[in-house]
Structure 1
C-alpha cells in the first residue's frame, strides 16, 4: 500500500491528469486555452518582429524577437502543464523563463530612448547616449541574472520535499525590485527628455513621425511597470499566497501586459517611425 507522499511522487513522474484531492504546484490547473492563446500571440509577434528586423535592418530590435521567444517558451511550458499539471519540469521551465522575458522588452525601450538622444543631440538629455545605454543595459543584465538565479533556486526547492523556497524567492523579488528601480529612474530621465525636446523645440529638427513612437515607448513602459508591481506583490506573498494561486491575475497582469508591451512595437515599429536627424546642430546653436 502506497502512502500519500509516494502517490504524490508518482504523479510528478511523467504526465498525469489532474487528480481530485492532490493539489498542483501552481495552486490550480493551468488553462490550456490561455496557454495556446498566448503561444499564438507571442509567436505571431515574434515572426512579425523578425520580418521587420530583417526588412528595416534595425538590428538592435532583435531584443523584441528574443523577448517574444522567451514568452513563447514560457507559455508553451504552461500549455504543457495544462495536460501534465504535476510535471516538475514544466513548472520549473515556466517560472525561470517568464520571470526574465520582460527584461528583453525593457532593454528595447532603453535602446530606443538612446537612439532618440543620438538623433536629437546632446541638449535632449542630461546623459550622453553611450553612458545612458551602458547604465541601463547593465542594469537590465543584472536584473536578468538575479531573477534567473532566484527563479532557479526557488523552483528547485519547490520541487524538493520540504524544500525551502524562501531564499530563492527573496532573490527573485530583489531582481524585480531592482528592475522596477531602474525603470523608475528611466521614466524620470525620459520625462526630462520630453521636457528638453519641448523647451528647445528639438522635435522640429527631425524628419519622421516622432510622437507615435514616443507614445508607444511610454505605453510599453507602463505595461512592464504594472507587471513588475504585480510580480513583486505576488512573490512577496509566497508560493501559496492569494495572487500566485489564482490564475486570472497571472493571465491579465503578466500575460496580457507583456503582449501589449511588445505588440505595440509591431504596429509602431522603430524602422518605420524613427525620425532622421535634420539640422539638429542649427537648433543646438540657436539655443546654446
Structure 2
C-alpha cells in the first residue's frame, strides 16, 4: 500500500487481503450446505435464519475483501462494517427457533409457552438487529463528528449487551430444561445432541459479543482522546478474526454437522412421552387465557409464579394421543428425509463414503 493510500485509509492497520477471502469461502460453503440441508429436511420454519444470516454475513466478508484493496472507499467500508455486525444476530435467531421447537418436543419440562419463547427471543433479536444496523452505519459515516460517532457507538454497545443478555437467558433456560429432563430420565441421543449444540453455539455468540463490546468502548475512547488512547484491539486485525470471524464460522459449520433436522420432527405437535423413546402426536400447546391476557403476559409469568399455569397438560393423558407411525427420533428410527430428497441424500452419502475409502 502506498503512503498516500495509508494516509487516507479508513482502517487503523493494513487490512489482510487473504483472510477475508478465506472466511468468505468458508461462510459461502456453509451457506450452500444449509440450503441443501433445508431442502433435505424441509425444516425451513426453524432453520431459515441460517440462510438469511449466512447471506448477510457473506456479503459483509466479500465487501471486506474488496475493501481491503480500496481502503479509502467509504461506501465499501460502511457495507463491510454493517453486514459483518448484522450477520451474527440473525444466526442467533435460528437457535431461538430451535429451542422453541425443542420445548414443544418436551412440553412437560418447559417452564414457559414454547411458542411464545420463540417469538420473545426473535423479537429481542430484531431489536438487536435494528440497533446494530443503526449504530454501525452511524459510526462508519460520523467522523469527523465525534458526537455522532459516540452516539452510534452507544447504539452498537446497547445492541451487543442486549444480545449477550439474551444468550445468557437462553443458556439458563436450556439448563433448567436439561436438568428436568435428566431427573426424569428423558435424555435420549437426539435431545442430548440438541442441548450440546445450543450450549455450544450460545457460547460462541457470547465470545463474539464480549469482543465487540470491548472493541466499541475502545473505538469511542480512541476517538474522544485522539491517538494517545489507541488500543491493541483496534490496532491489530487478528482480534477480529479470532474473536468474531472464527467463532461465527464454527457456529455455522457446527449447525451443518449437527443440523436440528436430524434430531427434531418437522411437526411441532409431536412430543416425547415419559419413557424417553415413544413419540406421540398431541394437540400442541393450548393456552386457556383470553387473547388480551396472552398479549399482556405472553409467557404466562403470572400463572407460572402462582403455580397454576394456564395451559393444558395434555402429556399427562398419553393414551389420548396416537403414537407416531413413522418411528421415533429419540429411538433413531425416524427421519425428516423423504422421497426424492432421500435418494439425493443417499447418493451424496455414498459418494462421501467412496471418497473416504479412496
Question: TM > 0.5 between the two?
Answer: yes
The CA RMSD over aligned residues, in Å, is 2.1
Q: Deviations over 1:76-109 (max 9, x none)?
A: 1110111111111111111111111111111111
TM-score by length of 2: 0.69
Query: 2: distance between equivalents of 1:120 and 1:164?
Result: 48
Q: Is the 8 A contact 1:45 1:263 kept in 2?
A: yes
**Which protein has the larger Cα radius of gyration, Structure 1 or Structure 2?**
2
Tell which has more relative contact order, 1 or 2 (C-alpha 8 A, sep 6+). Answer: 1
User: Given the superposition, is the C-alpha separation of residues 278 and 127 from structure 1 closer, same or farther in structure 2, using an over 3 Å criterion?
Assistant: closer
SS in 1 for 2:3: coil
Distance 1:162 1:199, change over 3 A: closer
- Unmatched segments (≥5 aa) in structure 2: 223-229, 277-314, 318-358
Report matched runs for 1:1-288 at 5 Å. 17-19=1-3, 22=7, 24-59=9-44, 60-121=46-107, 123-158=108-143, 164-204=148-188, 209-238=190-219, 240=222, 241-242=230-231, 243-274=233-264, 277=270, 280=273, 285=316
Aligned residues: 265
Task: State the TM-score, normalized to the length of structure 1.
Answer: 0.85
Structure 1 segments of 4+ aligned residues over 4 angstroms from their partners: 160-163, 275-279, 281-284
Cα 1:162–1:171 change in 2 (3 A) is closer
Equivalent residues of 1:176, 1:232 under 8 A apart? yes
**1:243-287 CA deviation, whole Å, 9 max, x = no partner?**
12310000110000100111101111111222685652678549x
- With over 3 angstroms needed to count, the CA separation of the structure-2 counterparts of 1:161 and 1:194, relative to structure 1, is closer
Distance 1:175 1:94 in 2: 18
Q: Which runs of 5+ in 1 are unaligned?
A: 1-16
Q: 1:235–1:244: 8 Å Cα contact kept in structure 2? A: no
Mapped to 2, the partners of 1:285 and 1:256 lie a distance apart of 45
In 2, the alpha carbon distance for the partners of 1:86 and 1:163 equals: 22
